[in-house]
Structure 1
Amino acid sequence: MTSPLLDRARAGDHDAFAELVDPYRRELQLHCYRLLGRLADAEDAVQETLLAAWRGLPEFEGRASVRSWLYRIATRRCLNAVRDAGRRPPLAPTPPFEAPEPTRHNEVPWVQPYPDVLLPEPAYLHRERVELAFVEALATLPPRQTAALVVCDVLGFPLTEAAAVLDTTAAAVKGALQRARSTLRSTATATAPATAPAASRPPAHGSAEERRLGKQFATAFVADDVDAVIALLTDDAWLAMPPAPHQYAGPAAIAGFLRASAAWRAGRRYSLLPTRANAQPGFGCYLGGAPAGLVVLTLDGDRIARITRFMDDSLFPAFGLPRTFSRSPASAAPSAQEQDPDAAPGRW
């Protein structure tokens, strides 16, 4: 049975269609982000989904819910996008100084952060399903396994409904789901250091402890106080800089990189503006007034387990961060001519 709102939308009422689909926009975008790993790609997929839904309204008979129908379209668009474009890593930025040898290389350097301002409200109740580590783990799976895991384990669709969303059988979904779960468990076991302690829950979202850790990190980072930064880290912490593939694991390796960066800057200091990404604290980073990466912190108890600095300055507008930033509130932001040329996008 169709609803009066659906009947109006099928009759060509654009306002009725908007009223029908608007409640699902944010969760659809987050769904597409989980499948694609990139904010811009997720936004494109949602637009394509809504256009396809509008065009396909005459064929929609209302036997499934509007939500399930939209997820079916969105999932198909995302799987097609991955198949058509592949997962080619973006061009890695060139370090402007001789960086230490990395500990390891990032398998999924194309993954981007997701602004908290775009998260549906319930996402904070299950923030482990939006954190960077989870999205990156999803990106290592075959696309249909990723889709099965997201639709069943994250969204909670039963097998029969998930099969309709994925255009397959319940048995096929169950098989893909089992393989995805097994791979993620194996990956987590293989990448965990043998001496690593059990992970602790991060501080509550927006809590005083979370703010304290963020403030201490920001104070130490902008002062180039490497020892103070290292004191905030877990023993198995690591530093990543997507889309550069380099990763530095352990306090000693991270300290080596931070000291090399500070030596190259020769007294020039970063500025940080707070933001949030993937239900985690973050900062817009600036050097000489120009964007110099987006820093996201992964917290583990009362310590920082991971520092991810995304070297993609095109992300700043999505996080509400200005394109230029001056340390002194009384001074104007520097002009393009006054900005430090070494802090251009794509630099470390």
Structure 2
Amino acid sequence: MSEAVFDQARTGDEQAFRELTDPYRAELQLHCYRILGSLTDAEDMLQETLLAAWRNLDSVTSHSSLRAWLYRIATNRCLNELRAAKRRGPPEPVPPFQPPEPTHRSDVTWLQPCPDTLLAGVSEAAPGPEDVYDAKETVRLAFISSLQHLPPRQAAVLVLRDVLGYPLGDVAAMLEVTTTAAKGALQRARAALARRRQADAVRPASADELENGISERFAEAFTSDDIEGVVALLTDDAWLAMPPAPHQYHGAAAIGAFLRTSAAWRGERHFLLLPTRANRQPAFGCYLPRPDERTADAVGIVVLTLSGDRIHGITHFLGAGLHERFGLPDSIDPGLPTSSG
């Protein structure tokens, strides 16, 4: 990017401003998503960040400092959003049948998946010098979810330092705190995430072929309501979650009980799956045929969390309109081939 474009943008040239900021849009949106956990909220904060940047660009003295300045704006916009909203979750959906009593209830009901197509626009920057996290780990659902359990400032410090690699002094300046305060927040955040990683102990699938095989076996069992087939693919400590519903089912027995209840309610109607990817993980657009079985409507996105050659987690995101983000149709013909065969 030439200094000439930077200078033009500072004089109020909208085209120059877009040319100046477009290279950072995808990574800024991902940054907001990491802190907020919601792609919808991240999109809003990205727009607020760019608007603030447009209004205040004359305060930036050089193009070389632009990226850090944009991250400073985005981070503080996210923190302001969290403080203002006090992290109220979306309305809890009412299930069409009486589900079994959940084994757990999540307080992170705003979590949403991120299509891999959006991640493709972001060059995976090397983590901080201490190599605390693998680059792919920082976009997986487990990491995004774990960040939501941290106090907002701790989450922001950890992402800026350990994911994006900014020096601690720069992080402190971005958040307008002392370096000592930033260091303390970082240490507490690292300790909290280390405890969650140890509790989860997820070992990602080692190769695309293995991942594809597990995903295909899951799709075949899930779309035929072969509950035993799904359970056979699970780790001993597997879980099923359904944001924005708080219900979670931990353990094969609890998951199987929920799936059987769901299958009984649907009767002869079986879910259909279209393959996609979310958060660098295998995923499916999920569809349910109408009672006349002539059309199947989108009913969310299913994301698999793999551990070795097993499924550690199934997250069925129920939010309306999620399929559109993945380039999936509103409805499909149940007679056409899908992942169910």
* TM-score, scaled to structure 2: 0.90
Residue deviations 1:76-118 (CA, integer Å, cap 9, x gap): 1111111111111221111222211111111211111111110
Q: What secondary structure is seen at the aligned counterpart in 2 of 1:320?
A: coil
Letter in 2 for 1:112: Q
Contact 2:202 2:306 in 1 (8 A): no
**In 1: Cα distance, 2:193 partner to 2:222 partner:** 33
Contact 1:203 1:299 in 2 (8 A): no
**In 2: Cα distance, 1:64 partner to 1:77 partner:** 22
Q: State how many pairs are aligned.
A: 321
Superposition deviation, residue 39 in structure 1? 0.6
**In 2: Cα distance, 1:108 partner to 1:199 partner:** 19
Partner of 2:252: 251
Partner of 1:99: 99
Partner of 2:128: none
**In 1: Cα distance, 2:202 partner to 2:157 partner:** 26
Tell me how large the CA RMSD over aligned residues is: 1.8
The ranges of structure 1 where at least 4 consecutive aligned residues each deviate by more than 6 angstroms after the TM superposition are none
1:294 corresponds to 2:301:
yes
**Which of 127, 136, 139 is the equivalent residue of 2:148?**
139
Contact 2:240 2:255 in 1 (8 A): yes
Unaligned runs of 5+ in 2: 126-133, 290-295
**Which of 177, 180, 186 is the equivalent residue of 2:195?**
186
Letter in 1 for 2:237: D
Partner of 1:319: 326
1:3 corresponds to 2:10:
no
Letter in 1 for 2:245: A
Partner of 1:85: 85
Q: Percent identity?
A: 56
**In 2: Cα distance, 1:77 partner to 1:181 partner:** 23
Partner of 2:205: 202
Q: What secondary structure is seen at the aligned counterpart in 1 of 2:332?
A: coil
Superposition deviation, residue 329 in structure 1? 3.1
Contact 1:35 1:138 in 2 (8 A): yes
Q: What secondary structure is seen at the aligned counterpart in 2 of 1:246?
A: strand
Partner of 2:221: 220
Contact 2:3 2:63 in 1 (8 A): no
**Which structure 2 residues correspond to residues 234-245 of structure 1 after superposition, within 5 A?**
234-245=235-246
* TM-score, scaled to structure 1: 0.88
Q: What secondary structure is seen at the aligned counterpart in 1 of 2:110?
A: coil
Partner of 1:115: 115
Residue deviations 1:243-294 (CA, integer Å, cap 9, x gap): 1111111111111111111111111111111111111111111111111221
**In 2: Cα distance, 1:295 partner to 1:50 partner:** 32
Contact 2:6 2:63 in 1 (8 A): no
Contact 1:123 1:130 in 2 (8 A): no
Unaligned runs of 5+ in 1: 193-197, 331-348
Partner of 1:346: none
**Which stretch has the larger CA shift, 88-97 or 307-316?**
88-97
Partner of 2:163: 154
